[in-house]
Structure 1
């Protein structure tokens, strides 16, 4: 009996010592930066053992205000660094002492501009360069293996780094990876949009140190890095959701209510209050709790986290997921703070809607939007939908290629339409090659428009090898052949690709690398002409460069186009180089084969 009692006591003591060893106080953010315009900082302190008393800061010339959260496992520490010149200060939490560091920020982002071309990557499906991190102890995901469309396949940061030369050689100047932060959910953790740790890269992708390598390796090549960020929701396994500082951090009352996904609710003068609440506060998915950005402490956590990644790693841009769904005053405050500290940082928001009036509402400096978003751009879904319709349908008064004309005519709604991020598919939409009935001619037209149009073009990885899936998210986010151990084909090489795939690859490479050298495309004005008989013509013009783009969207017949109609942009007798065929053109008309695009550049 005595021995049994001693064994129980020993077990309890061991468990207690394990808890004490693991019960370390954490600070969010884990460190901060010197020399910022705004010298106010709110540190969220967490201790799994709870706080018996308020922590104290020991430093000269520093103002501190500490207060308990509703949940005594947390303390809010408001710090004013205006007169502080040290490298660090001590936070005394009783049994735990924290040496809180202040670092020099990296604040020279390149931002984005119309000369850029973005390569969008789903990292779990791109390249698995480090199989050792495929299975990480303590992670909740149960589906590992390429046989699971919604499971983890093993792609990682090391894989992206290993293919930066490949991406740059294709002609891309920037990479945008879907979220890389820790996503320790029990299901579908591969996509990254249910973040459970805002300060650490998912260990199955790599580490913060490897992320720094990725950014630095990109910058060394003259390439830019876009981080994908999410403010609308967290993953359900996030510490702040499992053990929240306050019940006000999330919209817990809406847990069983999905958003109605109607962004128009924000501007509709006739909107139902219930509908608007459902859009704003309804959960995006059952394991993605909706964040209450109106809570000032949650707002501070999110804004400081955003600045931390920018200033720690020297990022160039944020792509903001589900931009319309969070509280819009918070989003405006976020933009203000980022632009105050890093004016050249580029912000673009995902606005997945179906009307230009709704899309433009969020694009920055919209006179009808009471909240100035400070966005430099939004994702141009209207362009994407219009390009597909232009290729799929015969021209009507407002349909077919006329839809593209009307959507571009709506550019008056934007302050800087040249900054809109254009695309023909992405990680949420069916692959464009599949949508276009696997017709390479149609794909060339779509991409030719994308790469010569106003805006900053974004291309989803695998487009260059004719990835074609359309069924669902798990499938369209395809594994890149040659990126995984055991692949029978390596489509990163010409030898591993089919003739058609090499044709698509070479087409993209030719256009994108030519695009870099064309001042008209990267800096020029945009003039288009009313479509006629399935033919759409537009000009890009700068002081030293002129490009005329002619598109025949008829699927059955060629079109002979009289160039005299476009004399205001293309003077009679202009001698030009056909960018795609490399032929010289100087006639007053041009024959366009069925479903084709011609790109003419004025000879200098």
Structure 2
């Protein structure tokens, strides 16, 4: 009998000791958030067999939810308005015995964090693929225990770029006139191969160690703040990586769509707007996997939805972000996306969110923007969207021959669709990005056309974004993503070409660098470009003229696609230029004493500040 009792005690002890907290997410929170509700995901062996006890002034345990998997608990807390920052114990008990505990921290919010200004039309964004920009810390090129190591010879391999390299390059970016930085995802992607791009997250609360640390990410934003610059984080709500830690032990059977029988999405993004759509097609789009290595998360699950919303708020507060770029915007559940944008902007009213809806139809893109009145009653609260329709129109306009409806007319006609958007000034505009051929390649590696396109994007309505390397004529032979996202010259020790110092650069690349720098540094203080109205005139004879203006200022921009100089008589533009007598051309620095006519050199653009 004694042996049986002793065995029972041993088994009971083993069962009790088995409850160990492996993860608590979010790992900390802040006192003073506008939303008093906080939901913690607790993960640990048989953690659901415990009872939770919390005793801290201002923190109320509202509910503890046990789910299908006994290794998970979801704890709902309510934080009083006057709760103080500090530490408190979350105790996990069986009967009267505490089997484990976790010290949870409430931090103080930095002064002004809720009122920080998001990126806007006064900014120019520099988009960086971190692995391919600058290797500032070679000690993290190989990280023990991570599945993929360094392979610079492989276009889809890890090349070693990191956050330290970006920090080291901020003076260059500031001197170039950039005011904001958007990084492709930096969170952990511990995948077996091709993990450099960052879009297969395996831990939503951890910076990939091959890029650096959470602390270095925060340091990056601190350094940007010192320069009056902003940081935009790339997030993905639609999918995670197949090696995400929870994929090996999921909380619930509906955490991932179409699991374990994976189905690839049909990519028919218009199911979100189509009044004739079948439910089968809608589900195939929204619930399908983007690719086989990226499981499709089910945002209709309220616990996953809460997890993702809190994760974005956590990073915003922890790092001090000024914006979020959301990948694959139309693929997650659209009602959850509406809830997310609304909740995030409650905490940060001046914040900005830009979504990727890769459609060339303005009606589809505008559906998602804050303030849009949609026929189906759907409301979203994202202030910005990526303007893919305009990007395509500009690329085609510069490549195509001039005709009644081709060439520069394609820009004019696309901008005429602006009535569909609630706020065109908040659209993010760009010549290219990490997912498409570089603009230089799109326009046939014609430097003059590249300059015209960049000038347009830096002076028309919206928030311009430039992809790293555009300023130095980066190109590519192949069309694969790994080719487009090539290493930035000068980012690695031993590079023969160094874009930071000019060593080994061609004269054409140096000229392009100076060209963009001049326009962007002028643009920093050009309020009429930031906030002025846009008026454009029908293209004529291979030229396109438009104005940015307000009641006190006007800027005239003329694009000339012709292979000879053009003299533009400006009487056609009197409704804007009436009262203005002279001007200064920004790129050349030349004064124009009489603006009744303007000479535009062959295949070029001019930017003219008008004077009364």
Give the TM-score normalised by structure 2.
Answer: 0.92
Distance 2:495 2:502 in 1: 15
The residue that corresponds to 1:563 in the other structure is: 570
Residues 58 and 92, structure 1, Cα contact 8 Å, conserved in 2: no
- Structure 1 residues 79 and 534: CA distance shift in structure 2, 3 A: same
Structure 1 vs Structure 2 CA RMSD:
2.0
- Pair 1:181-2:187 in alignment: yes
Alignment equivalent of 1:105, drawn from 90, 109, 132: 109
The residue that corresponds to 1:162 in the other structure is: 168
Aligned residues: 585
Per-residue CA deviations over 1:233-292 (Å, capped at 9, x if unaligned) read 011111222211101111034853222222211111122322211111111111100010
- Pair 1:290-2:296 in alignment: yes
Residues 583 and 595, structure 2, Cα contact 8 Å, conserved in 1: no
Q: How does 1:489-508 map to 2 (within 5 A)?
A: 489-508=497-516
Alignment equivalent of 2:34, drawn from 32, 37, 44: 37
Distance 1:255 1:150 in 2: 27
After alignment, is 334-343 or 578-587 more displaced? 578-587
- Pair 1:509-2:502 in alignment: no
The residue that corresponds to 1:3 in the other structure is: none
SS at match of 2:270: helix
SS at match of 1:294: coil
Distance 1:261 1:252 in 2: 15
Residues 317 and 345, structure 1, Cα contact 8 Å, conserved in 2: yes
Alignment equivalent of 2:600, drawn from 579, 592, 595: 592
Alignment equivalent of 1:226, drawn from 204, 229, 232: 232
Residues 254 and 283, structure 1, Cα contact 8 Å, conserved in 2: no
Distance 1:404 1:601 in 2: 22
Alignment equivalent of 1:26, drawn from 23, 27, 32: 23
Residues 519 and 544, structure 1, Cα contact 8 Å, conserved in 2: no
Per-residue CA deviations over 1:81-138 (Å, capped at 9, x if unaligned) read 2367242332112422112111112424221221100000000000001010011111
Distance 2:40 2:126 in 1: 36
Distance 2:227 2:485 in 1: 27
Q: How does 1:21-420 map to 2 (within 5 A)?
A: 24-48=21-45, 50-60=47-57, 62-64=59-61, 65-82=63-80, 85-86=83-84, 87-93=86-92, 94-106=98-110, 107=113, 108-141=115-148, 144-253=150-259, 255-368=261-374, 370-420=377-427
The residue that corresponds to 2:466 in the other structure is: 459
Distance 2:153 2:353 in 1: 36
- Structure 1 residues 427 and 61: CA distance shift in structure 2, 3 A: closer
Residues 390 and 553, structure 1, Cα contact 8 Å, conserved in 2: no
- Pair 1:471-2:471 in alignment: no
Quote how far apart the aligned CAs of 1:60 are.
4.7
Quote how far apart the aligned CAs of 1:485 are.
2.1
Residues 54 and 67, structure 1, Cα contact 8 Å, conserved in 2: no
Per-residue CA deviations over 1:148-188 (Å, capped at 9, x if unaligned) read 10010000000000000000100000000001111111121
Distance 2:79 2:318 in 1: 18
Distance 1:377 1:42 in 2: 28
Distance 1:386 1:218 in 2: 33
Residues 46 and 72, structure 2, Cα contact 8 Å, conserved in 1: no
- Structure 1 residues 50 and 70: CA distance shift in structure 2, 3 A: same
Question: Which segments of 5 or more consecutive residues in structure 2 lack a partner in the other structure?
Answer: 1-13, 93-97
Per-residue CA deviations over 1:46-88 (Å, capped at 9, x if unaligned) read 0045443232223355432112121000001111123672423
Per-residue CA deviations over 1:336-380 (Å, capped at 9, x if unaligned) read 111111111111111111111111111122211533221111011
Question: Which segments of 5 or more consecutive residues in structure 1 lack a partner in the other structure?
Answer: 1-16
Residues 183 and 202, structure 1, Cα contact 8 Å, conserved in 2: yes
